[in-house]
Amino acid sequence: MRYGLIKVAAAIPAVKVADTKYNLSEIENQIAIAEGKGVEIICFPELSLTGYSCQDLFHQQLLLDNAEQATLSLLDFTRQLDITVIVGAPVAAGPLLLNCALVIQQGKLLGIVAKTYLPNYSEFYEKRWFASSQDLRPQSIHFAGHHILVTPDMQIFRTAQGAKFGIEICEDVWAPTPPSNHLTLAGAEIIFNLSASDELIGKHAYLMSLLAQQSARTISGYVYSGCGFGESTQDVVYGGNAFIFENGSLLEQSERFQLESQLVISEIDVERLRSERRTNSTFVNAQRPVAGLNGITRQIGELALRIECLPYLNPMREFTLTRQIDKHPFIPRSEKMQAICDEIFNIQISGLAKRLVHTNCKTVIIGISGGLDSTLALLVATKTFDKLGFNRKGIIGVTMPGFGTTDRTYNNAMVLMESLGITIREISIATSVLQHFKDIGHDPVVHDVTYENSQARERTQILMDLSNQLGGLVIGTGDLSELALGWCTYNGDHMSMYAVNVGIPKTLTQYLVRYVAESGVDETSRQTLNDIVETPISPELTPADDRGNIAQKTEDLVGPYELHDFFLYYVLRCGFRPSKVYWMAQKAFYNVYADGVILHWLRIFFRRFFSQQFKRSCLPDGPKVGSVSLSPRGDWRMPSDAMSTDWLNELEGLS
């Protein structure tokens, strides 16, 4: 396990019904492959040593003895391997035959978990052969050379690195109260499911939904391995389903109906799951009945829990990340693009609509610069007015050219306002700002922070005064990324009467504007919106270059927004420490940014994020859109005096 990520695998071996030698060979082959890929825990399907569909052959002593002999061989095979194996086998315990999961590591049988819920309807009739764990009394049995306790108690296995996992078998997860509910509340972070679910029309989609919801509800990793090719097709067909979920998100899955073995591998971020659980008060409250589980055995109402500790594995084994780390965690995946973009706009629109109705206001004032943020705010305003049935002329778009305004942004602002049919106002700030410089004794040749912020505050003053004059609301345009970095002028563009973009990071702003451009606007608007997306991000507070192009580029000064949005997501959403965020960024932006560049901007991120909290402490109202918010009244409450020292110190040793 590295940085809290544990590599797991769901295996689908080829199988021959009741041929334990063949099945053992296939299982060993997949274990060897998984071991070579650095897998730490591998899960096989239900009754994988014998095959699930043996039916009345489970009453044959020869098959049971062969399954035990195969277990002995498997124990010997794993003796020198650094991998934990979870495999399915029938196990006799006194008068009962149990459908079990065997937990094996380095030649030792560490645990036996019996299936609880036995399906006995439609095509299933497991109770003909097996007993439920509920019928079992705790007893020590001799199996595969081990004296081992079999018990109806729930069992949690703890790895030497501290990750905890539990096991349930097939039908268990379909039950109204799955064992995984209790296991996860008692501390299990990953659930492994050995399954043999057959294929029916529509069942695959339902199964995926069921597992995703169970993983999300229990805030856990969920590894599911189902029987595949080789099981009996006498009455049913097994398609070979394997899934790895993390808190409801699918990480990897198998291809169904394949004629060969499959091995599905990914990494589950246990550290992230722990962070999610700590911040989810509902999950914490649900844990109350199982609080204080510090011993080996504890009672949970009428249930009992056992905690088994696995031996220590080689800590020096190589770790290779196989799961993809999304460079742009705020941007929706392409297959969900339209639905998510529409949902984002609807959240912004509903928030602004409520504020307008509440204040009985049919006029809004927006500063239009020709840049991304003001464009998005304007699009939200027009959609809101349309939804409320208001005349778009009630939207007052104000362009306020200054010392750094270029023809490109000015023309884009004018064309966009005209094509959207709003009221256009143009008010130059040059004369008033020069007068202000004269009043305070500032040399306009000196392009310092006073030079820049005076322009930003003059623009805000104009908008606020127009709102008084016209009886309208000033709509804020600043976005989430700017607030995280403090890239706004205090009491300048930092302030408004309702900030529609306050929950939208810069990378998502670009995406939303481009989405509107490609979703049915007129050709002029489409070209204008696309050009706005392609325009370098800039506050345009210093003069253009000799060719009239933007000279002051924000990303040259504070760094690439795609990096900062990446940092922002994993620092705020997941609470990851700086070293892990850096490591993840290295993987996500491999061949995009050099390691030194990533580290440099990560330092800048933490410096600015801590030092600029005072701006976030007095933000105007605005709608929360995604899972990350910086509202001082909601998700993020931090003192303005907090120190970044420890975060920056951790980065000092990295390279």
Q: What is the DSSP string of 108-148?
A: EEEEEEE------STT--GGGT-B-GGGPPPEEEEETTEEE
Average pLDDT over residues 64-83: 96
Going 611 to 614 to 617 to 623, the CA torsion angle's sign is: negative
pLDDT at 65 over 80: yes
Q: How many CB atoms lie within 10 A of CB 202?
A: 7
* Integer Cα distance of 61 and 96 in angstroms: 13
The answer to whether the predicted template modeling score (pTM) of the entire model surpasses 0.85 is yes
Average pLDDT over residues 95-112: 96
Query: Residue for token digits 């006029």?
Result: 363
Report the residue count for the chain.
655
| CB contact at 8 A, 403 and 456 | no
pLDDT in tens, 577-618: 999 999 999 999 999 999 999 999 999 999 999 999 999 999
Q: Which residues contact 44 (CB under 8 A, 6 or more apart)?
A: 11, 13, 27, 30, 85, 86, 87, 88, 194, 225
- Helix (H), strand (E) at residue 508: helix 506-517
pLDDT at 420 over 70: yes
Average pLDDT over residues 117-138: 94
Token digits of residue 564 = 């900062």
pLDDT at 293: 46
pLDDT band (50, 70, 90) for residue 550 = confident
Strand pairing partners for 452? none
- Helix (H), strand (E) at residue 533: helix 523-534
The mean-pLDDT minimum among 56-70, 326-340, 538-552, 611-625 falls in: 538-552
Strand bridging mode 108-114 / 96-105: antiparallel
Check if 46 is active-site.
yes
pLDDT at 305: 66
Q: What is the DSSP letter of 244?
A: E
User: What interhelical angle do 506-517 and 337-359 show, nearest 10?
Assistant: 100
- Name the active-site residue from 40, 46, 246, 276: 46
pLDDT at 443 over 50: yes
The mean-pLDDT minimum among 91-95, 179-183, 331-335, 355-359 falls in: 331-335
pLDDT at 301 over 70: no
Average pLDDT over residues 551-578: 93
pLDDT at 313: 60
pLDDT at 315: 57
Average pLDDT over residues 532-539: 90
Burial 383-417 (b: 16+ CB within 10 A, else e): bbbeeeebeeebbbbbbbbbbbbbebbbebbbbbb
Ramachandran sector of residue 518 (left: φ over 0; alpha: ψ -120 to 50; beta: rest): alpha
What's the order of all strands across the beta sheet hosting 96-105? Answer: 108-114, 96-105, 84-93, 41-43, 5-12, 262-269
pLDDT at 552: 84
pLDDT at 2: 87
Strand bridging mode 84-93 / 41-43: parallel
Q: What is the DSSP letter of 397?
A: E
- Name the active-site residue from 43, 54, 170, 361: 170
pLDDT at 589: 97
Average pLDDT over residues 135-156: 94
pLDDT band (50, 70, 90) for residue 107 = very high
Phi, psi of 56 (to 5 degrees): -70, -10
pLDDT band (50, 70, 90) for residue 304 = low
pLDDT at 291: 54
Average pLDDT over residues 174-199: 95
Using CA atoms, how far residue 349 sits from 330, 388, 406, in Å, is 19, 10, 30
pLDDT in tens, 454-489: 999 999 999 999 999 999 999 999 999 999 999 999
pLDDT at 390 over 90: yes
Task: Name which of 216, 191, 232 is nearest 283 in CA terms.
Answer: 216
Amino acid identity of residue 329, one-letter, is P
Average pLDDT over residues 248-270: 96
pLDDT at 197 over 80: yes
Please provide the average confidence, as pLDDT, over all residues in the chain: 93
Percent of the chain whose pLDDT exceeds 90: 85
- Name the active-site residue from 115, 506, 580, 615: 115
Going 346 to 349 to 351 to 353, the CA torsion angle's sign is: negative
Task: Name which of 177, 136, 431 is nearest 286 in CA terms.
Answer: 177
pLDDT at 296: 44
pLDDT band (50, 70, 90) for residue 542 = confident
| CB contact at 8 A, 169 and 193 | yes
Query: Residue for token digits 């010392």?
Result: 403
